[in-house]
Amino acid sequence: MNTAEDPQPETVRIRLDLAYDGSAFHGWAAQPGLSTVEGTLREGLATLFRREVPLIVAGRTDAGVHARGQVVHLDLTAAEWSGLVRGRSITAEEALVRRLAGVLNAQRGAIVVFAAREVAPDFDARFSALSRTYRYRIADAPGLQDPLRRSDTAWHRTRLDAEAMGLEAASVDGLRDFGSFCRPRERSTTIRELQRFSMERDDAGIITARITADAFCHHMVRALIGACMDVGEGRREPGWLLTRLAVPSWDEKVRLAPPAGLVLESVQYPADEQLGVRAEQTRALRDSL
């Protein structure tokens, strides 16, 4: 048992880059009795290190939402980190990726950790991030509904006006209070900088949305896309998103887009020497525009 005089073991901070099929899980966050991405990854790490290893994630995803470029960080003791090599001619980074692949094998590829590396102690997967980018796919005609892509594409029963949706998306870029598109949480701000929001129909006929912000609050991405779909379907008049933003309050008019079409594509970070500064800036609660 450690006392106040006992030295704490030296630790190293590790960044993991991973992808997952969200249809196999009840979201990112660990929940008792449910299969989640965080819970599964923590179980795997506990198997490797014989202890609970806390994780900090760049962005929590809802049930059914996927990730191609998720980032987490964790802290290991220096002995745990160096011990991964076990005398083999590989790096600790390679060893951790291989061993995680082994303990996650039961998931049949639903979670893949494709990179691990030691990072600066002030790196924070959540607070050091500059932005997150999501992609959303919509198939709005029977001929576009590919069964092999049903887990990452939302199927919509009627034809949508992609041009109108694109104009709606572009109209709400910038630093705004997105309280009308965020489920409220105590001690959390709804002010965000929406850096890019586009929607267009590609050559194959699929409507693809791309959305980047410094951060997203709870349900913000699906609420914004759902509002654009309301306009594209003709349920709402053009200009609906700006009208909603004028009164930043969550209510029954919000319609969430289905989770299946949503993928966290990437998380962007500053240069290493700016990680700590960025984390402190993000932790400061933004309360005004």
pLDDT beyond 80 at 279 = yes
- Two structure tokens written together for 98: 């291989």
The answer to whether the Cα torsion of 106, 27, 213, 199 is positive or negative is positive
pLDDT tens-digit series, residues 69-112: 999 999 999 999 999 998 789 999 999 999 999 999 999 999 99
- Two structure tokens written together for 249: 């309050």
pLDDT beyond 70 at 3 = no
Residues 47 and 45: their CA atoms lie apart, in Å, by: 5
pLDDT tens-digit series, residues 5-26: 566 789 999 999 999 999 989 9
pLDDT at position 9, please?
A: 81
Q: Is 250 buried (19+), middle (13-18) or exposed (0-12) by CB count in 10 A?
A: middle
- Two structure tokens written together for 191: 């002010």
Contact at 8 Å (CB) between 140 and 156? yes
Q: Summarize the confidence of residues 189-196 as an average pLDDT.
A: 94
- The helix/strand/coil state of 183 is coil
Contact at 8 Å (CB) between 232 and 161? yes
**Among the listed residues 117, 126, 30, the one whose alpha carbon sits nearest the alpha carbon of residue 76:** 117
% the chain with pLDDT above 90 = 85
Sequential DSSP letters for 82-115: HHTTTT-SS-HHHHHHHHHHHHTGGGTTSEEEEE
The answer to whether the Cα torsion of 176, 197, 260, 216 is positive or negative is negative
Sequential DSSP letters for 233-256: HTSS-TTHHHHHHTS----TT--P
**Among the listed residues 14, 31, 109, 105, the one whose alpha carbon sits nearest the alpha carbon of residue 66:** 109
Q: Which residues participate in catalysis according to the annotation?
A: 62
pLDDT at position 184, please?
A: 78
The per-residue pLDDT of the chain, averaged, comes to 93
Of all helices (H) and strands (E), which one includes residue 174?
strand 174-177
pLDDT tens-digit series, residues 242-266: 999 998 889 888 999 999 999 999 9
The answer to whether the Cα torsion of 124, 35, 211, 169 is positive or negative is negative
pLDDT beyond 80 at 4 = no
